[in-house]
Amino acid sequence: MNRLNLQNPTNLAFTVLLFSSFLFCLYLVIPATSPKSLEQTISPEQVISEEQRTPSYEQFAEPVAIKEVKQEVKPVVQQLELETQQQPGQRQVNALAFDQADYGKQKVHYTDKVIVLAYHHIDEKENGITISPKRFKSHLQRLKKEDYNVISMEHFLHFMKGEAKVPQNAVVITFDDGYESFYTHAYPELLNFGFHATKFIVVDSIDHPKAPRLTWDQMREMKQNGMSFYSHTYDHHDKVKAGSGNTLMPMLTNPIYLENEKRIETDDEYRKRIKQDLLKAENRIEEELGPQYRLLAFPFGSYNETVIGVGKEVGIELFFTTKEGINTIGSNEIYRIHAGTSYMSEDDLMWRMKLYHKK
Ligand SMILES: [Zn+2]
């Protein structure tokens, strides 16, 4: 056992040095962590102008140890906030100013394309749409290790519209449905990696929860830290009778059979119903989270020409399907890889993503 002997001059000098370093750190840290000084050092306006001069997405590739060093994470948080909360025009400036040189040392799997991953629920008990926190973490670790670059949904949107470049090996992480596990399990891990992610919420299930769902407060907090929330319809994540038989079909993509009148909705009634639903979802999200882009993930991955037409009428810019593939500029129908399922080991995920590197 090596005990510290203060009578030994070397140990004494070392102890004094250690103690004075500690005092010096306190001198630096205490003013930096007081709310007043934070306010003074990084006002939103300052961050905006700083950001417009020297924008970079590089820092998202670095792990963000938010729990240990809160004061150092603050600028990153501010930048994430800018990306998700600025008005569309301002956000465009950031996305357009992306610098490819930041990614020079990485392996290049693909360029000018984006893989979008789809998850649902995180829980110890895994199934077809549920993976354990451990499995989720292994996916994130592997994405980072293999030089994939996780970008924000807003950056992706600008890329798809031809307004921004993306880094090589760009990936977007999405979650469907409003499970609270996004807040309790996914979000802390995403913060540790400095990754953005998007959650598509069924708005009615947030307004009137019957099971553990995210709250608007949780979403506001997460939005401040780089997560984003978009529509998975207001209350059309359901199946209904679409004919006089008993077959149940997704209600966003099928005219409903009106039991009382013994007839199917007319085309006009169908269009009106889905338009009301999509608009209601957008309005509620904007009421709670502020102005933002309009994006839609199709319930059950089901869609048709009418849904896309009506969606465009209400201002929806991207439509997220469950078709597997990689996304290239110009399309508004987004392919996704179903990553959040119990059979998807990190190796399987890498193999699956590799299938699309050359497509
Ligand atoms: Zn869903």
Q: List all residues 6 or more positions away from 183 whose beta carbon is below 8 Å from its beta carbon.
A: 214, 218, 222
* Proportion of the chain above pLDDT 90, given as a percent: 67
What is the mean predicted confidence (pLDDT) over 175-194? Answer: 96
Whether residue 93 is predicted with pLDDT greater than 50 in this model: the reply is: no
Question: Quick count: other Cβ atoms within 10 Å of Cβ 271?
Answer: 17
> What spacing in Å lies between the alpha carbon of 118 and ligand 1's midpoint?
10
Domain ranges for the chain, please list them.
14-43, 92-354
More confident site: 18 or 81:
18
> What spacing in Å lies between the alpha carbon of 188 and ligand 1's midpoint?
22
> What spacing in Å lies between the alpha carbon of 303 and ligand 1's midpoint?
13
Which pLDDT score is estimated for 245?
78
> What spacing in Å lies between the alpha carbon of 283 and ligand 1's midpoint?
20
CB 306 within 8 A of CB 271: yes
Average pLDDT across the chain, whole number = 80
Neighbours of ion ligand 1 (CB under 5 A): 176-177
Domain 92-354, CATH:
3.20.20.370
> What spacing in Å lies between the alpha carbon of 201 and ligand 1's midpoint?
8
> What spacing in Å lies between the alpha carbon of 350 and ligand 1's midpoint?
24
- Taking only the tens place, the pLDDT of each residue in 117-161 is 999 999 999 999 999 999 999 999 999 999 999 999 999 999 999
What is the mean predicted confidence (pLDDT) over 182-204? Answer: 97
More confident site: 36 or 343:
343
Look at 94-98, 108-112, 208-212, 321-325 and tell me which has the smallest mean pLDDT: 94-98
CB burial of 253-262 (b: ≥16 within 10 Å; e: otherwise) equals bbbbbeeeee
> What spacing in Å lies between the alpha carbon of 152 and ligand 1's midpoint?
21
How large is the C-alpha radius of gyration of the chain?
24
> What spacing in Å lies between the alpha carbon of 243 and ligand 1's midpoint?
23
